[in-house]
Structure 1
Amino acid sequence: MLTTIQSAIADDLDAFEKTSWFTSVYPFTMSALGPLNGKLSGVFLPRLSVVVSSFLLAAGSLMTGFANDFNGFVIGRAVTGIGASGVFTVSIIIVLELTESKRRGLAFGLLNSGYTFGVAVGATVAGALLPVIGWRALFLLQAIPALLGGLVLLLAIPMTFTAALVLMLYALSAPKRIPIWPLVLSAMVTILFVSNELYVACDPIIPLTLLRSRGLLLTCLGSVGFMMARWSVLFYAPTYALAVRQWAPSSAGAILIPTNAGFAAGGVLVGWLHVKRPGSFYFPTLAGYGLFPFTLAVLAALSKDSSPAWAFILVVFLCGVTTGAALNYNLAHLLHITPKETHYVATALLATFRGFAGSFGVAIGGGLFTRTLDASLKTRFAEQRMDRAALIRRLLGSPALVEQLDGVEKQIAVASYQDALKLLWLSMALIAAAMLFVQAGTGQKGDAEKRKLEGERQGLINEAQGE
């Protein structure tokens, strides 16, 4: 939603150089609290966890809508992210509890479709309603369905690393240069957290079997890079429509409809037709991971104002199809390679790392995009001997401003946005391609097979010792 209304917010709060925080603070808190929500769902009832999260989501929306300055807006988005973290993580756990194995793939496909439908509709509706009711009302209205949804879930569901992440993403989201000390502190805090979980904690948030699981680790790391590339499409396809094509905000938001329709179709079809049994989905996952980078490379090539609009829309649709299918296969394979008794926390960790991807997509991708745009604008204006420091500052946070320009200023703005988008999507394509090899390291053998082999090996050792 913020991709289509951030220009109005930046203008109202006079925060053009801080717009990366509009979108980044929400996934920061959402992803950082994922493991904790998974743990709390095992201690308390999942239905209670998701209801409390829904109320926090509503409270954050109200705080955001009533914010009078940048700090108040960011705090409201942070609270909203805390609530969304619980809703996102616990919803996966609830699906695990309430579905049998042959319907689980379809259920996860429908769940992912719900998320992506919300992204598409939110961007389109927000862009259309912005001139009518303003950005504040758009946030205030979100509190109502959040509260009602929490109450419905309470009645409908049956009875039966935070500091490290924030420090790292704070550094990587810097619009002008990347500060080093937050990255160093992030590494130190991460080591401290893992050491505490392994050697000190009596009841660790993350079970030791999962901390030592190569398959889980590589699945989570692969998901981060894969979904980070995916989020670059969700965040910056509307920017392409606004700045390069100069579409209206409602039309710019609508560009997400085909990619999210593809995401839903890919996930649902895979769940309905293929993921109908427990077991390995190693090669189907790799197929999805292998096709996805090609769609990003084509997007980079099409990020010009002269490219056919239908071609861009077709490619974002195919990007969604490959992503939806790959994520469904990926989750099914994770359940195969991890012990059943750890599925709550394992799926919460996967949800967390997918949430990290949103954070990284904003922090790393947004930082790269903003730095490239800033450098391109300065270089092109300098070549024309034009001093436009104030205009550059506004263009960094307001892609909708391009439409209001004319002459050389407009040409430079469009060309600079094209440069930034092309470099962003090419970089994400390379990252997504690397994630294919990370995912390949998870292996095909499931937890039951590994335990059987370990038992046989131990039996042979005992026999040898007995002789």
Structure 2
Amino acid sequence: MPPSSNKPVFNALASPITETPPTPKRTDPANHPIKGLNLAILFSSLTLVSFLSMLDTSIIGTAIPHITSDFHALADIGWYVSAYTLGAATLQPLSGKLYTFFSTKLVFLSFVFMFEAGSLICGVASSSAVFIVGRAVAGLGVSGILNGALTVIAASVEKSRSPMYTGFFFAVAQMGVVVGPLVGGGLTQLVSWRWCFYLNLPAGGVAALILTFIHFPEVVKKEPVSFALLRKVAPELDLFGFVLFVPPSILFILALQFGSGNTYAWDSATVVGCLVGSGVLFVLFILWEWKMGDRAMIPGNLFKKRVVSVSYAFGICNAICMLVASNFLPTFFQAVKGDGPSLSGVHLLPSILGQLLFTMSTGALVSKLGYYLPWAFGGSVILTIGNGLVSTFSSTTSVGKWVGYQIVMGVGRGVILQLPLIAVQNAVAPPQIPIAMAVLVFIQNFGVSIGITISNAVFAQTLIKAVRRYAPSISPQAVLDAGSIAGAVRDLAIGHEGELDGILRAYSEGLSNVFYLLVGFSCAAVVLSLGMGWVDVRKKKETGKPTEDPQVKAEKMEG
């Protein structure tokens, strides 16, 4: 295919480039498919690395109680998750542009190296602060792994077989999220929570080593890396937008963390200053992105489409409900119920299996029946009921109740998990799909960063107040320092045995308020689902009539 200097250049998750100084030359990946053993090795290695990156999002849940106890930093729970998801969100839009202009292999292996380095820092961390840094570095690495793998797969297989490979890739990679709590609980109980991160080193290292010696087909021809190329590409990367985005994000999370962890009062100059500074810098970021237009890190034209913007908001609510619950439920089973890490992972199986079963079945049913809006609405209602039921958990909750309530919550999460992606794909013209998907992943990660920090603030503040009310002889700071493993929580009552029930009640109340917050997010999802578009996503049979342009169809749908 001849080079084009007038059309935008895309890769699997890249943003459209309307002015392209380097002008990469297009090649047709279907002309250069990989077959046989080479394809099997390449595909397996890419899938393994992506599985590890997804595993890292949930494996920490059952390990958090031990981590907080080892570091005496219960108030840092929010950072353990938000640092990772914020890192993943920060470089997500930028990573697509890097894959557009630079060697796919070089960029992908660079992100894998960053992920491995972050995992190593987490494994050897001697303090909560070092651990948080490691999580942030690992998150930065993850930001380019998934979309890089999809880019390589698209260039490596025949177009007719690409959907099959992509579907299998997603199925295996997302299993990492599902089995994370079980793996994390087992490693924490049998070896150490540090092996939740050491695990990535040999597995990811071997995969990266194999990928180093395998040829990566390119979707577009790339110029060799040079300072001249860097100078030409730099204006297209919206680096200034990236610089403007990071500080306000960190300042906002710092404000929530400082206030919730009793480091500073909520009305202190430090907390208020962080919030004001964050707000001012966010305004500057939005103004800059508007000025950059299609070259922006986050193109604003996508948000002008009602179905897309509503689906983005729906996706944020969904992601927050899933990851906040995954990271706080182990605290209930370990701190309140007295489970060990492995058993707490096993006790999460009702929600895990419910989610897994309905994620797969809902995707198949939407493909068969066509319309996703009823599933989005119904799944959100079920999730709201499930979150409400889980909010009633206490030290006296029976096995039948905590199993049944988790199943309801898991079914709701499974039904709606992939619906934002389906809605966005069908709301934009085909050339816009890559950037639309990149922004969806970006805002979900960023939303989770904020949501988990707010949840942690709710939990910590409720716990402090509840301990003063139900166990007045126990220091709230001692509770925060104890973390949330079963033994440490019960050791708080040594010499105050009569107040153990009060301590457990305080933990239960803190967790209940977290799930009340999730009820709010899932209620918002119910309302948002009604604006996601009444669209039949089934492929229409050829009738000999001209096919309506997808962009026109999307605009009619919004109207």
TM-score interval, normalised by the smaller of the two chains? 0.7 to 0.9
Indicate the residue corresponding to 2:384 in structure 1. Answer: 293
Match of 1:209 in 2: 301
- Indicate conservation of the 8 Å contact 2:153/2:165, yes or no: no
- 1:146 matched to 2:204? The reply is yes
Shift of 1:335: 0.3
Distance 1:254 1:435 in 2: 29
CA distance in 1, matches of 2:318, 2:121: 32
Q: Per-residue displacement from partner, 1:372-395 (whole Å, max 9, x unpaired)?
A: 11110122223xxx2535532334
> Do residues 392 (structure 1) and 493 (structure 2) align?
no
Query: Counterpart of 2:504 in structure 1: which amino acid?
Result: V
Q: Which amino acid is the alignment partner of residue 392 of structure 1?
A: V
Change (3 A) 1:387 1:60: closer
SS in 1 for 2:375: helix
Letter in 1 for 2:120: L
Alignment deviations for residues 163-221 of structure 1 (CA, whole Å, 9 cap, x no partner):
33322223234424553333333332222222222214683223353243332222212
Q: Which moved more, 1:169-178 or 1:346-355?
A: 169-178
Check if 1:306 corresponds to 2:396.
Answer: yes
Q: What pairs with 1:149-164 in structure 2 (closer than 5 Å)?
A: 149-151=207-209, 155=214, 158-160=217-219, 161-164=245-248
After TM superposition, the structure 1 = structure 2 runs for residues 407-446 of structure 1, keeping only pairs within 5 Å, are 407-444=497-534
Which structure has greater helix proportion?
A: 1
Once the two structures are TM-superposed, the CA of residue 401 in structure 1 deviates from its matched residue by 1.9
Q: Is the 8 A contact 1:280 1:333 kept in 2?
A: no
1:23-422 correspondence to structure 2 within 5 Å: 23-44=81-102, 48-91=106-149, 111=170, 114-115=173-174, 117-151=175-209, 155=214, 158-160=217-219, 161-173=245-257, 174-175=259-260, 176=262, 178=266, 179-200=271-292, 203-275=295-367, 281-301=372-392, 303-382=393-472, 386-389=473-476, 391-395=478-482, 398=485, 400-404=487-491, 405=493, 407-422=497-512
Secondary structure of 1:337's counterpart equals coil
Q: Which has the higher contact order (CA 8 A, sep 6+)?
A: 1
Give structure 1 stretches of 5+ with no counterpart.
Answer: 456-467
Q: What residue ranges of structure 2 are gaps of 5+ in the alignment?
A: 1-58, 220-244, 537-547
Q: What is the TM-score of this pair, normalised by structure 2?
A: 0.71
**Mapped partners of 2:277, 2:436: distance in 1:** 26
TM-score by length of 1: 0.84
What is the SS of the residue equivalent to 2:383?
helix
Structure 1 residues 15 and 444, CA, compared in 2 at 3 Å: closer, same or farther?
A: same
| CA shift in 2, pair 1:274/1:441, >3 Å | closer
Contact persistence 2:331–2:484 (CA under 8 A) = no
Deviation at 1:110, TM superposition (A): 6.6
Contact 1:370 1:396 (8 Å CA) reproduced = no
SS at match of 1:4: coil
Letter paired with 1:245: K
Alpha-carbon distance change, 329 to 312 in structure 1, aligned in 2, over 3 angstroms: same
Aligned residue pairs: how many?
Answer: 449
Change (3 A) 1:202 1:305: closer
Within 1, Cα distance between the matches of 2:104 and 2:299?
Answer: 18
Distance across 2 between alignment mates of 1:285 and 1:202: 30
Percentage of pairs with the same residue? 22
